[in-house]
Structure 1
Amino acid sequence: MNKPLSILAVYIITAVSADESEPNIEEICRFVAPGTTILRPNTCEQWVRCPTAFGAADYDDGSCVYGLYFNKDTGRCESIENVNCPYESNIVKNRCASKKTGSFLPHPTNCKSYIYCQNGKEINATCPNNLIYHPTKVACVYAKQYECELKTFPANANPICKAIPKNKILADTKDCTKYYKCNKDQQLVKLECAEGQSFDYVSSKCVTQKSAICHPLAPELEPESDVCGNADNVHIGYIADEKSCSHYYICNKRANGRPDRKPLHLKCQNEHFFDINTWSCRDRLRVQCYLDRCEGIENGYVNVAGDCTAYAHCKNGVTIKRGKCGEGFNFDERLQICSQQNISYVACKS
């Protein structure tokens, strides 16, 4: 239980030989979704249910009764002849143990052969000529009459793939956008979620980054921005920050035509605001911004967008109070006074 995670990484990153030691239960359960039921390594009849949460210890286990194997893909104990056990080469298997005398079973590794059960023992037999055994008809037939599929597990199967259910997905503990899956050759391959998605450790699915629950060991994801639009409306170029008068984004053009999810986020120099009309950083009084114009002001007064007679009192960069000049007066942000002069700052024009 205390083996370092680097040990399991060996099983994930490389294909392993059949004689390499199998990972233990704790190692496997760290990477599958909570509550996953797996086949206990080096057995055919024993199962283990992983804890219901990462780091928990509420394991559950059991063993199928005599004559049955645990089917890791269905999560049930089933007749031996119906289960493809990846550890069968390590176990002496008698398929006739629970069968009546006179029963016929398909051979697990040879389409031309079959097994006859007599007094609980196996008797191997072979179809004549080029015929193959048909388990449903319980007869030897021509190859064109039946498509034989052997239930064998690859000899060089990855140890993780031997224990987990078919199509079960494992989280990548180093990158929340990636995951592992066993291919048809029972080797672990690394896959990646679609752009804008992350792998959800609990549901074992790729979901939107905002709703994904990453594996507890995976680094926290950098939040992806949606300021550059969506698949139907892609923005390219300079975009004003909807929360700041002085900040802006640069949305780059992507080769795949999708929105830039990690645009540059920049800020104009002091006393300057971003002007979306000219894509420029300009004197703050030459830019009309309807957000809080107290941005960057520690203690002072600023014009109010849309009303040159009004002013806002600023403290630590935010508005704490608003007021209005008397009749016939306009507020002059530069002079910090109410003036009878005609104020024509773009910042306060209606």
Structure 2
Amino acid sequence: MMGRGQGSMLAGLLLLLCACTAPAAANLNMSALCLTVPDGMFVSSQMDCSSYYHCQGATASLMSCSNGQYFNKDTQTCVASSQSTCASKSHPCLGKTVGSFQPDSSSCGGYWYCGDSGAIYGSCPTGENFNPTTMACVYAYQYACSQSVVDSSSGASPGVEVALNLCSLIENGFYFGSASDCSGWNYCQDNVLHSGTCQNGLVFNVNGKSCGYRSPSSCAQVTNDPSLTGAVAPTTCTTSGTMKNATACNQYYLCTGSSYTLMTCGSGLYFDTVSQTCVARMQARNDCDRCLGSTKSFVNAYSSSGCNQYLYCVNGAQKAVETCPDNYYFNEDAGSCVYETEPAFKCCNPDGLSGQPATTAAKTTTTATTTTTTATTKTPA
């Protein structure tokens, strides 16, 4: 039985249903969303049931199901439209049972009623959200979904409401990160969003899906993107075309009029704060977590004075900072501390000057090891 809270939606159906279109919504920044989920995960598209995204770091690759199939976020596969809870924007009742209700992914309280004559749009009473699992209008505290007014910096027109119903896009049953808080985590259960914070000042590791790693730089998921947080980016600008670095190494903010828009570099590139361009990651002068996008356990740490430090990476995030012995420099390509030979990586050697000949280094190398990995891991509960 459909319900208002625990009452009946059906009683008010005739009053609520109308042959109108769904309210407009701003497109989500999929690059920012991908930073909150583990690498390799598929995320539903907000705009089309047959489309979905493959997330790898901040790279969101658009993919599509074939033969009229819909993407099922929970099985991470393409299935027949009747087996998917997704409602197409152009044909929300396609393949759905007559008499059923389908959610409107762009509105917390919107839904479609699939009648004999086709789809009819309706809205829950004020203060209630539509729960696609129970197919009922419930009080807002019973189904987490919020709407916020954002400005044009997110790609929306001023005053447009953005539905933050992330569980309509993200798989149920695992932890993912927050776009506004390093320590924050989210969890979808039966399409209901549950959120919390890691204890004792720990931060949430997206790929590890757990709490740990106290370093504040291991927090690439925090972009404060308005389309995810519902909050307008805190910075404003006056000169179009100016840039500033973002939290993630491969992202930056571009001034487009009066506000900054979050941009993402191409695959394998980082934003260089000096040249204000996207460059090869080893050449980027950017004080950020350089574990992002790397599959290596050890990478050079950012420095403006020398390459003697390196990062210990776990699941694509910084866990510890280590230092090579005196007169040794870390070389990410070699994966070791090399004697008296400083690599010409601008990420730690801005002048790009190399040290002694590599023939000396070939005879004396020391393998990078971890010595200060005392951070504990606590799984969100």
TM-score (normalizing by structure 2): 0.33
Higher relative contact order (CA 8 A, sep 6+): 2
Larger Rg: 1
TM-score (normalizing by structure 1): 0.35
